[in-house]
Amino acid sequence: MANTPYPESYYAASANPVPPRPALQDDVETDVCVIGAGYTGLSSALFLLENGFKVTVLEAAKVGFGASGRNGGQIVNSYSRDIDVIERSVGPQQAQLLGDMAFEGGRIIRERVAKYQIQCDLKDGGVFAAITAKQMGHLESQKRLWERFGHTQLELLDQRRIREVVACDEYVGGMLDMSGGHIHPLNLALGEAAAVESLGGVIYEQSPAVRIERGASPVVHTPQGKVRAKFIIVAGNAYLGNLVPELAAKSMPCGTQVIATEPLGEELARSLLPQDYCVEDCNYLLDYYRLTGDKRLIFGGGVVYGARDPANIEAIIRPKMLKAFPQLKDVKIDYAWTGNFLLTLSRLPQVGRLGDNIYYSQGCSGHGVTYTHLAGKVLAEALRGQAERFDAFADLPHYPFPGGQLLRTPFAAMGAWYYGLRDKLGF
Ligand SMILES: Cc1cc2nc3c(=O)[nH]c(=O)nc-3n(C[C@H](O)[C@H](O)[C@H](O)COP(=O)(O)OP(=O)(O)OC[C@H]3O[C@@H](n4cnc5c(N)ncnc54)[C@H](O)[C@@H]3O)c2cc1C
Per residue in 31-66, pLDDT (tens digit) is 999 999 999 999 999 999 999 999 999 999 999 999
At 51, which CATH number? 3.50.50.60
Q: What's the rounded Cα separation, in Å, for the pair 228 and 222?
A: 11
Q: Is the CB of 243 under 6 A from ligand 1?
A: yes
Taking the CA of residue 375 as reference, the ligand 1 atom at the shortest distance is 26
Distance 83 CA to ligand 1 centre (A): 23
Residue 389 falls inside a structural domain: yes
Residue 367 falls inside a structural domain: yes
Q: What is the pLDDT of residue 242?
A: 94
Any idea what the Cα angle at residue 302 is, between residues 427 and 416, rounded to 5°? 45
- Mean pLDDT for the stretch of residues 182-200: 98
Residue 243 falls inside a structural domain: yes
Q: What's the rounded Cα separation, in Å, for the pair 85 and 95?
A: 9
For β-strands 202-204 and 55-58, DSSP reports them as: parallel
Q: What is the pLDDT of residue 200?
A: 98
Residue 262 falls inside a structural domain: no
Q: What is the pTM of this model?
A: 0.95
Residue ranges making up the domain that contains 45: 10-70+186-248+346-402
Is the confidence at residue 145, as pLDDT, over 70? yes
Is the confidence at residue 414, as pLDDT, over 80? no
Q: Is the CB of 343 under 6 A from ligand 1?
A: no
Q: Is the CB of 244 under 6 A from ligand 1?
A: no
Taking the CA of residue 4 as reference, the ligand 1 atom at the shortest distance is 47
Q: What's the rounded Cα separation, in Å, for the pair 420 and 287?
A: 12
For residue 398, count other CB atoms closer than 10 A to its CB: 20
Of the candidate ranges 81-85, 130-134, 236-240, 378-382, the one whose mean pLDDT is the lowest: 81-85
Q: Is the CB of 79 under 6 A from ligand 1?
A: no
Q: Which residues contact 213 (CB under 8 A, 6 or more apart)?
A: 219, 220, 221
What total number of domains does the chain contain?
1
Residue 36 falls inside a structural domain: yes
Distance 236 CA to ligand 1 centre (A): 8
For residue 59, count other CB atoms closer than 10 A to its CB: 30
Taking the CA of residue 76 as reference, the ligand 1 atom at the shortest distance is 11
Q: Is the CB of 349 under 6 A from ligand 1?
A: no
Residue 37 falls inside a structural domain: yes
Residue 392 falls inside a structural domain: yes
Distance 284 CA to ligand 1 centre (A): 20
Of the candidate ranges 3-7, 238-242, 321-325, the one whose mean pLDDT is the lowest: 3-7
Note the pLDDT tens digit of each residue in 334-366. 999 999 999 898 889 999 999 999 999 999 877
- Mean pLDDT for the stretch of residues 387-404: 85
Residue 373 falls inside a structural domain: yes
